[in-house]
Structure 1
Amino acid sequence: MKAAFITGHGGNEVVKIQNYTLPPRAPGEVRVRVHAATLNQVDLYMRNSGAGITHQLPQILGLDASGVVEEVDAADPVLRPGQEVVIHPGVACGRCEYCERGQTVLCTRIQFLGEHRNGTFAQWIHVPATQVFPKPAHLNWAEAAALGVNHLTAWRMLFTKARLQPWETVLVFGVGGGVSLAALQLAKAVGARVIATSRDDGKLERARAQGADHVVNSHSGDVVREVMAYTDGRGADVVFENVGEAVWPLAMRSLGRGGRLVTCGATSGDQPGADLRRIFVRQLQIFGSSLGTLAEFRDMLGFVGRAGLRPVIDREYPLDALHAALDHLESGTQFGKLALRIDGH
């Protein structure tokens, strides 16, 4: 089969697109013919160094995907050949204390597609049947694939961790990125007010078109002042951020009393000031989060189907143009997801 994999670490020269032998399907696994996958920041990280992530070379890239079931155990109670599906990217061990509690995303031996095991940038993939879910019928292949990382991550952050309510205000940093844009869509879908930030006025206008109630240019504007003015001095109930050190002081000062900050990234640095006095005086809560459980994925897919929500796709590339797609992702100019069409679909 054709697949995109890294043979080492560096730049695009280590990313190869050529034939790769698919091993036999094991009992309990599903063979999925991949129609689309999307790019995530971790694809760049794996290409560049993969430091701290146990993996073997060559390594097929890609976390998320949508496609069609080609082969599955006859006794499987849910899946059948020909079914359109999406894939959850985190393969848990099923045996540790966290898995036994249903918190598969906290599994001590979890393996992520495209990181610890071969990923989705390939014509076929074998994954445990527990990772495969029916695709929302209203979505195209690229839109469906986008749900597996960004929307699942945003769902857990907003609703499991921060417990966002429809009457609340959420401040979303860096709205051009996939997970922040997913947060905007999900928060608006439940009726919350959203303040969105970006350093790009064009992205802010597109965020307005997606339903943002108020936007702030974080380069030329004063984020804290704008948040306080918009909320009549009260502050945001929830801050959603995946930037890290560069925005942390603004995030903390933008929270109202009893507010919740939830974070899933630190692209600008991971050692911000703590400001402990503000935390305990205002009784703030800080949550770390990543991806989501199988149950959260199921719930999120159901919500997306009922709400008719459609992930934003910035651009689609054929698999053979992965180098150009990686360059686009690295530029940071995208609004929404960059998708790969696998095998011409």
Structure 2
Amino acid sequence: MGLDAPGWSGVVHGDWTNLPRIRALLDAGAEADGIVWGDRRPLHVAAEEGSPEVVAELAGRVTDIDSEERGRSALWSAVYHGRSDNARILLAAGADPWRPMMAGWSPGRLSLAGPAPDLVPLPAGEGGLTDDERAVAAEAPRLVEIFAGHRFEGLGLACVAGISATEAVRRLDATPFAVTEEDPSHEPPLRGQGRTHGEIIGATDVPGGCILTQPWGYTPQMPGVLAALSSGTVAHGLYANPKSGDQGRIFRDGYAEGSDLHPGGEPRPDATSREVLVGYLARGNAIAFCCAYAGVRPPDIRAVTGPPDIWLGLPERDWRH
């Protein structure tokens, strides 16, 4: 990570809505094309969190309004972060809405999936959303609403497409245990029967597949568990690590497709098309991201908070591999 360019030292987040402050820095020699906070471009930061006035000021001073940072233009960043006001300023300044980036998602095409689908007209010959992308865009806001405002520190989770909780039992060679009124969801079963919390997970059927959870640990997203569950399908695992934040894994047909992921966070430059789309639609909501990515559609929060449909006792095995 490099140093700030001359003139940008001391800038903090709130400054990007302060036009006199930013204009004074620019007039004093800070370059609009410079680097702030070690690796960011001022226009990109302003597009995400600044005021339209600051965006307009920077847009009028940069050399290339479509210059990219981490594989995305300032316009793309404005769209991704839900800043249609800033996106309109950048469009008026000449930013290209149909320049492909981020797994092929141009700013204009990405906007079609969000709350401002009329941000830019779809030109002749430019592809719109596929049927699958439209379905994801229609469902994701509901998932975000379901899980918004809830805290899930310490939770382990796996969203699996196309299989039932009963099939999950079979694939994991697990022992099922019914959930009863005397055995509430946050009380692990099988006490005194030689099992530890790490060997027990809950499973719940939902439209589109099933969701496996462990309120106290990361077992559902361990590689061995996801490999077994994802045979012939896709599974997205999550551990809401209280110390280091949300950690995700994607397995498809028994093999890892992505690891060390941050569901709901900023997309990596090499993110897949579906990761970019779901990240845009479920930004900041890790549980909604995992559900939308796998295509499972829980009707409410119970599949995550409990009680599960069944408890599963996993066999003795090294599930870390």
Assess same fold via TM > 0.5.
no
Structure with the bigger percentage of strand: 1
TM superposition score normalised by structure 2? 0.28
